[in-house]
Chain A
Amino acid sequence: MAVVFEKPKALADITFHYCPGCTHGIIHRIVCEVIDEMGIEGDTIGVCPVGCSVMAYDYFNCDMIEAPHGRAPAVATGVKRANPDKFVFTYQGDGDLAAIGTAETVHSATRGENIVVIFVNNTTYGMTGGQMAPTTLPGQITQTTPYGRDTSVQGFPIKVCEMLSTLDGTALAQRVAVDSVPHVREAKKAVRKAFENQKNKLGFSIVEVLSTCPTNWGMSPVDSLKRLKEEMIPYYPLGVYKDKTAKEDNQQ
């Protein structure tokens, strides 16, 4: 019988610890499919964050490093500078990337660090139990915004792709989502482009993936995907915010 679907080789044969309905699984899979398709598992080093995906080092079959909270882009910089011919990616959540690690994120981008950043935005700190994240939407109730995020008190969410698209070192800043099949396909294309950019030494590529957290949102997986579509996408519009390859195409 013909095989029509199988686990990517780069994805380890281990039971994930993620909650039921969590979209980390889809995003892991996308990254691994791209690694497989490009045949680069043996030349890839992944850096995982502190947050729900802290144990992702067990899930990817390439070499893996667990970084301190927020420091994955700095760790990845060290790896990449020491091994410029290898592929290096970070896999980070919103608290890791856009709060405690903002400086590392911004400066890796502006240096044009030739790495891939997979940024999983689910508007909450998942692992610690659902506190306010830098990406928590206005009005959103979390453990530390029990009356809803009040922008006059807690300020506004950070739109990471928009912010990083202003930097000359950024090669790709694209926001995707994993709430529907077409969006998952789009997400995979973006991740592939990010890795191709690294291969072509174009600089810093970030793919922001809008994701869910059924457990901390207190919703069913289906309702979570609905929230992603109806509440997150309007605030965080999907699309390409910066793409150096597109610019080159235009110039031609």
Chain B
Amino acid sequence: MTHDIILAGFGGQGILFLGKVLAYSGLIDNKEVSWLPSYGPEMRGGTCNCSVVISDEPVGSPLVIEPAVLIAMNSPSLEKFIGSVRPGGTVICDSTIVDSPVTRQDVNVFYIPATDLETENNLKGGANIILLGKLIKETGIISKETFKKAIEKIVPPSKTQLIENNMKAIQVGMDS
């Protein structure tokens, strides 16, 4: 089983972090994983995307071309990648920001107002994790328990309060 995932949005929305959480989760589940960022001069504020592969087999190309999962946090990202999603694939968008609906009929699309939910629940910067919560609920690629272990591994010891916030955000996403 191989999960090919693309995460995309604006720089600053936590796209690469979201990718890291997924990759670490795969690592904790003893899977083969890879994480590949887009890199270049658009380090701040520009578009940003990240390929993550979680697999039972050694990862071939770390560059995901036909994702089974797309998380899109803005309209340009959705437009850029929606055509490449495999039929039957899962698309999760932040509907607070994405303004036009997906026209494809052969993919499962979930619209989550993640940025609004972030504000409502006082979870600053948590929209990315809220969207991941929805992904966990809909696909079970990783479990909530694994997610917790991954967050504990990534968050530096000086910022332990972030663990709680992230756990809250993932629950908000799962309940949405």
A and B touch in their complex, CB below 8 angstroms: no
Residues of B within 8 A of A (CB): none
